Amino acid sequence: SMQLVLRFQTRPSVRRLMLAGKAPGLQHPNSNSILRGLIITLAYDDVNRTVTKRLLEKIGCEMPEMDGFEVAMKIRKFYEYHWPLIIALTASTEDHVRERCLQMGVNGMIQKPILLHVMDSELRRALQSASE
Partner 1 sequence: MELVQMQKSLQDYTKSLFLDGVLDSQFLQLQQLQDESNPDFVSQVVTLFFQDSDRILNDLSLSLDQQVVDFKKVDPHVHQLKGSSSSIGAQRVKNACVVFRSFCEQQNVEGCHRCLQQVKKEYYLVKNRLETLFKLEQQIVASGGMIPAMELGF
Q: How far is the CB of 46 from partner 1 (least distance, A)?
A: 5
Stretch that binds partner 1, among 2-10, 18-26, 74-82, 88-96 (CB under 8 A): 74-82
Residues 105-124 touching partner 1, rule: CB under 8 A, are none
Stretch that binds partner 1, among 7-15, 25-33, 38-46, 115-123 (CB under 8 A): 38-46
CA distances (Å), 71 to each of 11, 20, 90, 128, in order? 14, 18, 14, 23
Instruction: Please report, as ranges, the residues that interact with partner 1 according to CB under 8 A.
Output: 44-48, 50-51, 54-55, 58, 78-82, 131
